[in-house]
């Protein structure tokens, strides 16, 4: 996998016209990223003919793997009928019914184009509904790249050292309050200090943008109780976990019901999508029914909807969660054993089909995650890539197992981790 001539050429050109040479920061792999030519199943192929087992999987959406036939068929069928209408179409009725079936807490919803748009709209709706400006987010939580949420934001923002972005007016984040994950006391005192002023708490129920950090037993239930007692809307940002941990996402997995939910990634089957939804009395405030404005030329676009419907049907038909969650568990157990046998002070995080090796102790929040040896992780990433395994190029991301990852892929992956972790 040493030959990267064409990728280097493309990257040198790209740097002239595209900041950092990439269209999204997490793709900026030093010294240069590989350029993809095609991707099928669990494999991604670069322009120099190298092939990798892919655990980035588009950073979450590709739960069925690359180029899954049923999605491709749905897209082809849709292409024959046009790909943008600017009018309502039957697909949005069908997908909203399906989403409501698995997410009963989503009584009404709007289709947007990205997770970023979904959380931006969710916060606006929550503010419009409550008439309050302040909201709480969890440190290290990532809700897309919009102003109000770029405070101690995870993902590429932390990887590239800009968890608090330049260019965001202080006025736009002064109502963004922060608490550590897995810390109910901090939440209670923050609410106490801002009593009657907080519209919502937005959180990833499982943190997926700072490695994978899972909730301690009872934490989500307590968050639900405290927010309800204080009339604070609880927004679960399930852009990663929705249709990933289970059909009904983390809210089904943990049995905790939020007031509002955002979806994205998996529900578009690899085509851009976002969903903002929640209680009927809240969502009725969205324009044109209510006075909270939200609009978009590409909202509810037929290709995303068709891919989303095909995704849901396949997840059910193939019992995908049972398969990928079992593979996730097998892989995490094997990695933990490798780490233990090699006497490394690393830890395996994750849940369901999500996993990460932390180069340090198992973190329970953002501050602890930052203590991990991220340079050590990045060197390891490079060794894995050389051996044909494409992991996320940052300690602060999550690996995703897809339905296309075979048992043999998992075996190869375990063996390669075994060879490269302890180097």
Ligand X SMILES: *Cc1c(COP(=O)(O)O)cnc(C)c1O
Q: Which residues bind ligand X (CB under 6 A)?
A: 114-116, 119, 142-144, 204, 208-209, 237, 239-240, 264
Q: Tally the C-alpha atoms within 13 A of residue 312's C-alpha that lie toward its C-beta.
A: 21
| Contact in structure between 205 and 236 (CB atoms under 8 Å) | yes
Identity of the residue, 125 or 421, whose beta carbon is nearer to ligand X in the bound complex: 125
Identity of the residue, 41 or 60, whose beta carbon is nearer to ligand X in the bound complex: 60
Q: Least distance from C-beta 12 to ligand X, angstroms? A: 27
| CA gap 98, 312 in Å, rounded | 8
Alpha carbon 261 to chain centroid, angstroms: 13
Identity of the residue, 50 or 116, whose beta carbon is nearer to ligand X in the bound complex: 116
Identity of the residue, 205 or 360, whose beta carbon is nearer to ligand X in the bound complex: 205
Residue 164 contacts by C-beta under 8 Å, 6 or more apart in sequence? 150, 151, 152, 153, 173
Q: Least distance from C-beta 117 to ligand X, angstroms? A: 7
Q: Least distance from C-beta 209 to ligand X, angstroms? A: 5
Q: Least distance from C-beta 119 to ligand X, angstroms? A: 6
Q: Least distance from C-beta 24 to ligand X, angstroms? A: 8
Identity of the residue, 115 or 360, whose beta carbon is nearer to ligand X in the bound complex: 115
The residue with tokens 């089957």 is 269
DSSP string for 386-418: HTTEE--SSTTS-EE--TT--HHHHHHHHHHHH
Q: Name the residue with the smallest CB distance to ligand X.
A: 115
Q: Least distance from C-beta 392 to ligand X, angstroms? A: 12
Identity of the residue, 74 or 354, whose beta carbon is nearer to ligand X in the bound complex: 354
| Contact in structure between 238 and 249 (CB atoms under 8 Å) | yes
Q: Least distance from C-beta 395 to ligand X, angstroms? A: 16
Q: Least distance from C-beta 116 to ligand X, angstroms? A: 3
Strand ordering across the sheet containing 347-351: 347-351, 354-358, 399-400
H or E stretch covering 378: helix 374-386
The residue with tokens 């054993």 is 337
- Across the chain, which distance is largest between two alpha carbons, in Å? 60
Nearest to 99 by CA among 295, 274, 321, 256: 274
Can you read off the two tokens belonging to residue 248? 């009904």
| Contact in structure between 184 and 222 (CB atoms under 8 Å) | yes
Q: Least distance from C-beta 316 to ligand X, angstroms? A: 23
Q: Least distance from C-beta 249 to ligand X, angstroms? A: 11
Identity of the residue, 92 or 238, whose beta carbon is nearer to ligand X in the bound complex: 238
Identity of the residue, 111 or 142, whose beta carbon is nearer to ligand X in the bound complex: 142
**What residues does 274 pair with on adjacent strands?**
112
Identity of the residue, 116 or 301, whose beta carbon is nearer to ligand X in the bound complex: 116
Long-range residue pairs from 21-28, CB within 8 A, at least 24 positions apart, any chain:
24/156, 25/156, 25/157, 25/159, 25/160, 26/59, 26/155, 26/156, 26/159, 26/392, 26/393, 26/394, 26/397, 28/160
H or E stretch covering 348: strand 347-351
| Contact in structure between 99 and 274 (CB atoms under 8 Å) | no
Identity of the residue, 157 or 339, whose beta carbon is nearer to ligand X in the bound complex: 157
What Å distances lie between residue 190 and 128, 201, 237, CA to CA? Answer: 22, 11, 20
């Amino acid at each position: 996998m040493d030959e990267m001539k064409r990728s280097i050429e493309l990257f040198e050109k790209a740097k002239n016209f595209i900041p950092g040479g990439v269209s999204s920061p997490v793709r900026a792999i030093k010294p240069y990223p590989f350029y993809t030519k095609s991707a099928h199943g669990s494999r991604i192929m670069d322009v120099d003919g190298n092939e990798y087992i892919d655990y980035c999987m588009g950073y979450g959406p590709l739960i069925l793997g690359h180029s899954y036939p049923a999605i491709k068929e749905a897209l082809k069928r849709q292409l024959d009928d046009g790909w943008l209408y600017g009018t309502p179409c039957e697909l949005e009725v069908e997908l909203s019914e399906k989403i409501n079936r698995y997410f009963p807490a989503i009584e009404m919803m709007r289709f947007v184009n990205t997770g970023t748009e979904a959380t931006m709209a969710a916060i606006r709706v929550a503010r419009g509904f409550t008439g309050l400006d302040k909201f709480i987010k969890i440190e290290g939580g990532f809700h897309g790249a919009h102003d109000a949420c770029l405070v101690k934001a995870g993902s590429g923002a932390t990887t590239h050292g800009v968890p608090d972005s330049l260019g965001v007016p202080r006025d736009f984040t002064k109502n963004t309050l922060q608490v550590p994950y897995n810390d109910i006391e901090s939440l209670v005192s923050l609410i106490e200090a801002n009593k009657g002023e907080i519209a919502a708490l937005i959180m990833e129920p499982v943190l997926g943008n700072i490695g994978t950090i899972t909730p301690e037993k009872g934490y989500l239930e307590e968050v639900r109780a405290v927010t309800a007692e204080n009339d604070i809307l609880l927004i679960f940002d399930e852009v990663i976990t929705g249709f990933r941990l289970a059909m009904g996402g983390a809210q089904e997995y943990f049995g905790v019901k939020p007031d509002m939910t955002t979806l994205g990634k998996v529900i578009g089957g690899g085509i851009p999508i976002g969903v903002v939804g929640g209680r009927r009395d809240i969502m009725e405030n969205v324009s044109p029914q209510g006075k909270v404005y939200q609009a978009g030329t590409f909202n509810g676009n037929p290709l995303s909807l068709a891919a989303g419907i095909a995704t849901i049907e396949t997840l059910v038909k193939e019992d995908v969660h049972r398969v990928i969650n079992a593979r996730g568990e097998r892989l995490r157990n094997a990695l933990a054993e490798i780490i233990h046998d090699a006497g490394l002070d690393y830890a395996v995080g994750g849940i369901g089909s999500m996993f990460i090796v932390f180069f340090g102790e198992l973190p329970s929040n953002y501050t602890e995650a930052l203590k991990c040896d991220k340079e050590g992780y990045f060197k390891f990433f490079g060794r894995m890539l050389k051996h044909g395994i494409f992991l996320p190029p940052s300690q602060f991301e999550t690996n995703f197992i897809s339905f296309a990852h075979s048992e043999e892929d998992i075996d190869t992956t375990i063996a390669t981790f075994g060879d490269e972790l302890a180097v």
